[in-house]
Amino acid sequence: MERPKRILIIADDCSPLSQERGLVGMKGGYQIYWYSFPKADLKDLAGAVTPPMGRIRWLSFFFSPLFLKRAIRKIRPDLIHVFYAYQQLDNLVLSRFRPLVLTVMGGDVLSDQSFRGRKKWLVKKILEGADIITSKSSFLDEVLDGIGDYARKIRRVTWGVDIHRFSPGKEVHFLREQWDLEPDDLVFFSPRSCRPFYNQDLIIKAFASYQSLHGEKKKAKLLIAELFSKEAYVKQLKGLVTEMGLQGKVRFVGAIPHQEMPGYFNLADIMVAAPPSDGMPQSFYEAMACGTYPILGDLRQYREMVEDGVNGRLVKMGDVKALSEAMSWAADHPEHRKGAAIINRKRILQVADKEVQEKRVNAIYEELLRR
């Protein structure tokens, strides 16, 4: 009897999204092995390997390729799937393996994030070596095309959202009680990482401007998630809240477990995000699936899903006044927000249904293993 095909996943085990995506092959009947630090502690894995160097960076940087080669020899995978194109010197080993699937995330191939310096050369190695590259958007396709001739390798995989879990109409009374929200509070929600890159300070300043305009006429609260937060930055943000007189108006809601995100997107009326650069973030899909109204910086990639004034607002990047005005406009147009929720749900069903996307991934595996 032929043994099941083996897929080795190279991914960050700390990310719940990587965990979900790395296990998709199980639904295709494949055995899943995992190589990461820290060691993957996931159910039903056929095996997990972690390099022994721990968090000693220079040791990890230089010696991880040796342990990766050893792991490959031991596991004898039929296919490797890498999530995130920069895996340090491991890219030199991975780029020589066949068949190889690479999922780019955005920041790994954007020149204003990780695609620069020595990282640029290593990322190009694995892009050239990959048999198939999965991309979430036309924008990322264009970015990849600007790096090299990869068009024939690219497959559209948005990964999607669980459209049953991420849907409107969830009960959120307990969250209103937990965060001391009034029944008539308009809830703004900033779900991205609490790091300087994501401009949470700009969002707080825009919310302060909104408050100065509306005061008690349109009562509102701002919730800020603290996933992957920088302690010093969170402290700075809390100081800014005090400085701007927003005590009681802004809630820092901690690192929300991914399974609780549908509740927060149902709780929120409006999602706000303002990074200077991005791929196509999962939180964006999740918000749209739940009917949360998106206010975003005017990045070209967002325009694939949002038309300004139709199903969301796109505002000038880094402009506090523009962001505040968009908040006020959205607050003043509740019927528009309801219409946008219907449009956005339909778009998610079309391009980001998780079940459809998982079948697409397993079809890619099957295609490569047949070659």
Query: Same domain, yes or no, for 328 and 216?
Result: yes
Domain annotation covers residue 166 = no
Query: Same domain, yes or no, for 47 and 155?
Result: yes
Q: From residue 64, how far is each of 113, 129, 340 by CA, in Å?
A: 23, 19, 48
Residue 89: predicted pLDDT: 92
Q: Which residue, chain included where needed, has tokens 């390729």? A: 65
Q: Identify residue 162 by its one-letter amino acid code.
A: D
Domain annotation covers residue 110 = yes
pLDDT in tens, 268-293: 999 999 999 998 899 999 999 999 99
Query: Same domain, yes or no, for 142 and 237?
Result: no
Do residues 64 and 51 make contact, with C-beta atoms less than 8 angstroms apart? yes
Q: How many domains are there within the chain?
A: 2
Query: Same domain, yes or no, for 202 and 322?
Result: yes
Query: Same domain, yes or no, for 321 and 188?
Result: yes
pLDDT in tens, 318-338: 999 999 999 999 999 999 999
Query: Same domain, yes or no, for 196 and 225?
Result: yes
Residue 174 has pLDDT above 80, yes or no: yes
Domain annotation covers residue 134 = yes
The answer to whether the pTM exceeds 0.85 is yes
Query: Same domain, yes or no, for 51 and 75?
Result: yes
CATH of residue 276's domain is: 3.40.50.2000
Domain annotation covers residue 165 = no
Q: Which residue, chain included where needed, has tokens 């300070």? A: 201
Query: Same domain, yes or no, for 347 and 358?
Result: no
Domain annotation covers residue 167 = no
Query: Same domain, yes or no, for 81 and 45?
Result: yes
Query: Same domain, yes or no, for 156 and 199?
Result: no
Do residues 229 and 255 make contact, with C-beta atoms less than 8 angstroms apart? yes
Query: Same domain, yes or no, for 366 and 316?
Result: no
pLDDT, mean of residues 8-34: 90
Torsions phi, psi for 295 (to 5 deg): -120, 120
pLDDT, mean of residues 306-323: 96
The range of the structural domain enclosing residue 114 comes to 6-160+353-370
pLDDT in tens, 65-92: 999 999 999 999 999 999 999 999 999 9
